[in-house]
């Protein structure tokens, strides 16, 4: 696909809260800065929501969910039609939305256009198709009863979006919520609120009833927490760190609301000695460095079988060192900046820990350039399982390469983590591949590939990587309640 040129003088059109299909100032009339991570400069200010705005947004979503409201009375096919219209609108505005993703997130514009926006549109169209296919069952119970189940929308949802794939993660959440007939209040990450607000404008443009979708830019303690605690919110979906995910679970206990969490990862990728070495290096490189390493399922522990270890390290080092960093709007750029200073400092601190704990720095290891939150693509060899870089989620362009000798050894080492989001295997030996994939405790296992995301297949993790599944038919269950109806009749036959 040919990528059209980005917008040269990008105008930021939407900077206010979106409640009841209207852009409004926050009750407190505060704003906060949006920073371009490639320059470290403020380029916009956005309205800052707080608890009072949360109350207004929840009221709007609750009113839209009332049984006599237009959204509740709408035919399921019409819901699907509106979601498809929203996908059409995203497609018409694809260039501008990709520019917004590049501007406040720092990802290359070309990747935002080709990957993020493609997947957003696909997600919306997929769930549009599900809207009129959600149905219950007739249950053959004993006695003279007509018994059936209804799958009904759970109600008002709070959806808390991360900064690494801002618009895509929003689509992952609003897609099934809207398809099932729920209403929602979305909190985008404070670093990357702009594409969510633009999408909100399209929600109103295509004709969704007021209150069905609301967007509150702001901060975790003053927006995320009140949403997760709110007793009129029936469901909370969160993507972000495991530490915050734990807090969300606690807040949601206020009214025992449904919770889905997609949290951190420290995913292993295992390269067996029979693998094609160049192919293996390419897959592992993509698995780690995609999106600047800011990917929850990043292949951040690379286990290589001993006979090919040294050769793999040499090729991985050369590939990382050859990456082009720079302006996200330069078509040649492969890696932009990290999202903000906090993330930048965290990555550099963990790199220093790798050096001090005895790992061998093969390439990178520092800041790139004099401005912007750029981190050099970094490769460590000689990494041990007890090092911080092997235990903690770095969320940056830092590849750790570890050596192993046997399948059972690498299975135990790969599973020795608090996380279980993803795993990878590179080999042509199908018996060993099946043995490994059956024994790795991870929500997604990639074989001879990595970072494949298809809206039809479920995504989620084991252990502290989260609760529940997103994507595919599985995601619909998160937004539905099952009602059983017993209807006494004179006779079954």
Among the options 157, 190, 296, 393, which is catalytic?
Answer: 296
Grouping H, G, I as helix, E, B as strand and the rest as coil, residue 346 is: helix
Q: What would the two tokens of residue 174 be? A: 């609003």
Strands 462-463 and 419-420: antiparallel
Among the options 262, 305, 362, 376, which is catalytic?
Answer: 262
Name the helix (H) or strand (E) containing 57. Answer: helix 51-64
Distance CA 457, CA 444 (A): 10
Residue 382 near residue 359 (C-beta atoms within 8 A): yes
Distance CA 125, CA 102 (A): 24
157 has catalytic annotation: no
The closest of 169, 158, 174 to 227, measured between CA atoms, is 158
Chain-centroid distance of CA 216 in Å reads 18
Distance CA 227, CA 213 (A): 14
284 has catalytic annotation: no
Distance CA 467, CA 480 (A): 16
At 228, give phi and psi (nearest 5°).
-70, -30
Grouping H, G, I as helix, E, B as strand and the rest as coil, residue 268 is: strand
Residue 97 near residue 195 (C-beta atoms within 8 A): yes
Continuous H helices in 290-370: 309-321, 341-356
Phi-psi region of 29 (alpha: psi -120 to 50; beta: other; left: phi over 0): left
Torsion of CA 97, 103, 108, 113, to 10 degrees: 0
Distance CA 259, CA 466 (A): 10
Residue 64 near residue 233 (C-beta atoms within 8 A): no
Strand partners, 94: none
Distance CA 234, CA 476 (A): 15
At 201, give phi and psi (nearest 5°).
-60, -35
Torsion of CA 358, 346, 460, 170, to 10 degrees: -160
Residues annotated as catalytic (active site), given as ranges: 262, 296
């Amino acid at each position: 696909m040919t990528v059209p040129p980005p917008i040269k003088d990008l105008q930021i059109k939407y900077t206010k809260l979106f409640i009841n299909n209207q852009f409004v100032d926050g009750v407190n009339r505060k704003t906060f800065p949006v920073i371009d991570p490639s320059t470290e400069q403020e380029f916009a200010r956005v309205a800052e929501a707080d608890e009072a705005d949360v109350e207004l947004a929840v009221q709007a979503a609750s009113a839209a969910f009332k049984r006599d409201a237009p959204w509740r009375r709408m035919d399921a096919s019409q819901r699907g039609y509106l979601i498809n219209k929203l996908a059409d609108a995203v497609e018409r505005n694809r260039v501008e939305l990709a520019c917004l993703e590049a501007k406040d997130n720092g990802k290359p514009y070309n990747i935002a256009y080709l990957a993020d926006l493609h997947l957003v549109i696909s997600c919306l169209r997929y769930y549009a198709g599900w809207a009129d296919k959600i149905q219950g069952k007739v249950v053959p119970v004993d006695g003279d009863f007509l018994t059936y189940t209804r799958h009904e929308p759970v109600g008002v949802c709070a959806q808390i979006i991360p900064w690494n794939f801002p618009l895509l993660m929003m689509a992952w959440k609003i897609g099934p919520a809207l398809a099932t007939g729920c209403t929602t209040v979305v909190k985008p990450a404070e670093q990357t609120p702009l594409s969510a607000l633009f999408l909100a404008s399209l929600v109103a443009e295509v004709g969704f009833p007021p209150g069905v979708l609301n967007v509150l830019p702001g901060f975790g303690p003053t927006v995320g927490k009140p949403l997760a605690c709110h007793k009129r919110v029936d469901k909370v979906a969160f993507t972000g760190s495991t530490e915050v995910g734990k807090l969300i679970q606690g807040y949601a206990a206020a009214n025992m609301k449904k919770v889905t969490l997609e949290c951190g990862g420290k995913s292993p990728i295992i390269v067996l000695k029979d693998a094609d070495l160049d192919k293996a290096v390419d897959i592992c490189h993509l698995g780690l460095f995609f999106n600047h390493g800011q990917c929850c399922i990043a292949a951040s522990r690379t286990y290589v079988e001993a006979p090919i270890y040294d050769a793999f390290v040499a090729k991985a080092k050369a590939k990382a060192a050859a990456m082009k960093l720079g302006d996200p709007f330069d078509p040649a750029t492969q890696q932009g900046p990290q999202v903000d200073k906090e993330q930048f400092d965290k990555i550099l601190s963990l790199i220093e820990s790798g050096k001090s704990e005895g790992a061998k720095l093969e390439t990178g290891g520092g800041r790139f350039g004099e401005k912007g939150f750029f981190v050099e693509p970094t490769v460590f060899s000689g990494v041990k399982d007890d090092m911080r870089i092997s235990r903690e989620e770095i969320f940056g362009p830092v590849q750790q390469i570890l050596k192993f000798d046997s399948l059972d050894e690498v299975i135990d080492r790969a599973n020795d983590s608090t996380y279980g989001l993803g795993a990878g295997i590179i080999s042509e030996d199908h018996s060993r591949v099946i043995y490994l994939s059956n024994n790795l405790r991870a929500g997604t296992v990639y074989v001879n590939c990595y970072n494949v995301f298809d809206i039809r297949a479920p995504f989620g993790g084991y252990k502290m990587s989260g609760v529940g599944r997103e994507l595919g038919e599985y995601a619909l269950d998160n937004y539905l309640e099952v009602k059983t109806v017993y209807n006494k009749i004179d006779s079954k036959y």
